[in-house]
Structure 1
Amino acid sequence: MSEPVRDPVQIAVPVEGGELSALHWPADAPGAPIVVLVHGITANAMSWARVGAALAGDVEVVAPDLRGRAGSAGLPGPYGLDAHAADLTALLDSLGADGDGGAESTVLVGHSMGAFVATLAAAGPARDRVHGLVLVDGGLAFPQPPGADLDAMLAAVLGPALDRLSMTFPDLAAVRAFWAQHPAVGPWVDVPSVAAYLARDVTGEPPALRSACVPEAVRVDGGDVLANERVLEATTDLPVPATLLWATRGMFDQTPGLYDQVRLAQLGLEPAGITAREVPDTNHYSILWAAQGVEAITAAVRAAAARR
């Protein structure tokens, strides 16, 4: 499989409490559309490497490490999706997406939890700055797993991705071995951009490497995704049409995934201005990495940017 040909540049953006770390793929010319890529609950900016490289040049692409993850792990709480929406708004301001014509077009793209962040920002503090919205296997209420409390629900939804937050690893080879056993991620661990994504999550020194994700950030954010009605209802007040791209398979490569035709039919997408499209033969993770996923996401982004 072909790999991205453009490497991003590391940047830092002033936000409440410090600086938000981000990856930047510059545009080839000034005045290009701005695209912000928002990752999932225990992920980081490098999860978007293949999409960012595919869009680079035509648009200005920025993918932040959300507060409490990877390069932004040192940012303090409070956590929660409102904090991420505020950080995204600060990021857009820094890029010139000020709602007064500073940017030709601005598109928010969110994966998994990042899609909820994108909808909350678009419906709230960044409302006058956002001209397009692309949701990637997220943004609409997930099926509620059985569980007596939030921690049990998060464990049921995230499985190994959550387990690793309390683990240490002797070296990067052990990190790779851990992910190689994951049914959805495993087939991709030796793809260089995915290996870089997994390595970006790692902090500390051997023999005690660990995830950079702050467990409390994951817990608070997960509570918002699963149970915060205001977050779940953000899609009912979007300022622009949105595209939902959904994976056939789920977080553990199972079928059905988080969404399917029956579930989507029950969510009332048309009144909210959301168009749903399946991305065949992808799971919740590989929708960002497989050729058909990258193609679907980049096509949706370009279409959204062109609507301005």
Structure 2
Amino acid sequence: MATLYTVLQTLLPFEWAAHHFMLNAFLAILLVTPLFGLLSTMVVSNRMTFFSDSLGHGAFTGIAIGVLLGSVSPLLSLILFSIAFAVFITYIQNKSTASTDTIIGVFSSTAIALGLMMMSYGGGFNKFSSYLIGDILSVTPEDIGALAVVFLLVLLAWGALFNRLLVLSINASFARSRGIRSFWVQCAFAALLAVIVSISIQWVGILIINALLVLPAAAARNVAQNVKQYHAISIATALVSGLTGLLLAYYFNMAAGATIVVVSAVVFFVTLALKPYFVR
């Protein structure tokens, strides 16, 4: 990492680049925000906003299970629980006659209540409260390495799933008629979302992480003319918002995660105002 720090400090002759914690946060944003922008497109197109929000709510339970087991890393427990949680919701959605928002609401409220109950046992909730708002400046060099691996794996998985997800977002019945196993594709995408939410929640925060899975694509839909533009603008929105939010948070001493979301929201409202000029 020392060599990488030296290179970055040469390329970025700014005062903030002298701090290693800022360089770690900078690298983390370069790796994770494009993934949010990419996955955001299908979250919005498939009307999965409430679903992605439930993953953040259920994260408390995953963390709590890891803590209670003692020998299990809270992050590993969080990832495994979130994947299982996402797949189980997808399964129930496909098997139940209840409305989707009702099913997700039941699981979401139950998971966060259960997690809060377990975390507060013995009065130990305060040490986990940081997960509510996150801290991007707490990223370590080891985290950067893990993020790089996740970045590559998600891109590979996205390449394998994209065409099927696109057809599903257009018409589920047509997708099934073309031999696409919608349930397994939905499970795979839900697992991807779960992994990204799990690894990012400690830096972004449970309260606002869903916004990063919605705002980039929502802004892109306002002005995009085709699928390529939709994805490119969503990724660019997430990346630019991440970098801008990080720098604003540094110079004005604010919470970085919240600042990133506010910048994303500003981009959304700007594109919303410009929407009439792009609609043909």
Q: Which has the higher contact order (CA 8 A, sep 6+)?
A: 2
Higher strand share: 1
The question of a shared fold, defined as TM-score above 0.5 by the shorter chain, is answered with no
TM-score (norm 2): 0.27
TM-score normalised according to structure 1 size: 0.25
Larger radius of gyration: 2
